[in-house]
Chains A and B, each alone.
Chain A
């Protein structure tokens, strides 16, 4: 008997022992604990504090996966893309003035004296709104960096005053009332932004579930996109940055943040069937409550952009649908 086969046999035994040992070391784990599970390890600790892995976490995690594209996908639905542009009609729905500088009756967007009006007039053409030009429709037409602030309407007695908690049906009814009364004009690419005063729970979940939202409905003259814009300053902890305002109108300054959010989402996902990610988040959802580089104004307020009107604003970042994707303040 030669020594070699015996050595080989012993080596095989040792190898088997190793394999058995290695197999025995596999602690049973559920598939959910596999490292490839998308739900793994989202929570992070930073300086001993639990970092809430919400939009900014998903943003960074998506950035870390360039092989999966830009982090947001087109699903074939409606985008307000060129040659059309996104237009806005502001509807102030309350028994008294909601924001400083608000006029009664109706007027062109150019004559709206509120900070919200000034923001809407300056949003189009900004490096910030240019982020939306990274989105396109099924014809490969890109979103244009334009926003048309068409008109405002301070609702008077011609239509019903808001209830304590207006429903979507009541919001669509309000738009139809305004259209029928000639207070506002119908346009299929317009976002009808409905603003209400403090104390009105617009849509029923304000402050507990959302700070604003966008959707669509069937008005008397056709499909309308609308944004429910309750008074964000009513819930400072949940619906505002809690920073000092960079101008004299903290309520309007808080409101333009969620207004920008809804306009961006309506533009790129008007009917809820166009641009969203693999978790169902639309572009602005992915970057909500992230500010980028924040500066301090002379009055101590915080801002991250200065628009063409010369005003400072603090507005959330938006998702850039280019490269490997990411939240940004400009493109």
Chain B
């Protein structure tokens, strides 16, 4: 029986190590994947037959133009990071992330552009688009808040 102790000890140590490795990986993964702090938010128009345009609020608060139209210089080039994170937290944890990506049938005017919001983080992304004024309440609220923050409309 005593000659089995080293073997038992070895197996226990091995088991402990094997358990510890994924736990460490998990912690590292979580550290890398801070959904709120790494979120950037894009918004603008897409679809239909008008050229797409929009902006992207980077995780550090800097606002950049996206799309392929020449927009006039923006009044707001940076937003408060704290406010951005408040918006990101609400978006990731509220009903917004459960909204469908897009309508699955033609909108009343398929040639009209759709408003879109897209969250991107190191943990994943979420894109939602609706034709003007037809979005779910949570989409409209988030869009209004982002519009207010960036003074787009």
Contacts and interface: CB of A to CB of B under 8 A. Distances in A.
B81 interface: no
Interface string A264-306: 0100010010001011111011001100000000000000000
Interface in B103-121: 103-107, 109-113, 118, 120
Interface in B5-43: 7-8, 11-12, 14-16, 18-23, 25-26, 29-30, 33, 42
Contact of B15 (A17, A209, A258): A17
A301 to B, nearest CB: 19
Contacts of A269: 106, 110
A31 B99 CA distance: 11
B49 A14 contact: no
A6 B10 CA distance: 13
A53 to B, nearest CB: 8
Given A25-B26, A208-B50, A209-B48, 11 more contacts: A21-B22, A25-B25, A39-B126, A40-B124, A54-B46, A210-B50, A276-B105, A279-B47, A279-B102, A280-B102, A280-B110
- Enumerate the 10 nearest inter-chain pairs by beta-carbon distance, A residue then B residue, closest first: A33-B124, A213-B111, A21-B22, A10-B11, A39-B101, A14-B15, A17-B19, A39-B127, A25-B26, A237-B69
B64 A54 contact: no
17 contacts: A13-B15, A24-B22, A24-B23, A25-B23, A25-B25, A30-B92, A39-B126, A54-B52, A55-B47, A209-B113, A209-B132, A210-B48, A210-B50, A238-B69, A239-B50, A279-B103, A284-B49
A317 to B, nearest CB: 13
B123 interface: yes
B132 to A, nearest CB: 6
B124 A29 contact: yes
Interface residues of B, number: 63
Contacts of A43: 42, 118, 120, 125, 127
- State the main secondary structure of chain B at its contact with A: mixed
Contacts of A280: 102-107, 110
Interface in B48-94: 48-54, 56, 64, 66-71, 92
A201 to B, nearest CB: 13
Contacts, number: 182
Contacts of A212: 49, 111
Contacts of B104: 278-280
B119 to A, nearest CB: 9
A158 interface: no
B16 to A, nearest CB: 7
A282 B106 contact: yes
A281 to B, nearest CB: 7
B106 A272 contact: yes
A64 interface: no
A238 B53 contact: yes
Contact of B30 (A27, A214, A282, A289): A27
Interface in A219-265: 237-239, 242, 258, 261-262, 265
B146 interface: no
A238 B126 contact: no
Contacts of B68: 52, 289
Contacts of B29: 25, 27
A40 B125 contact: yes
Contact of A52 (B20, B54, B101, B124): B54
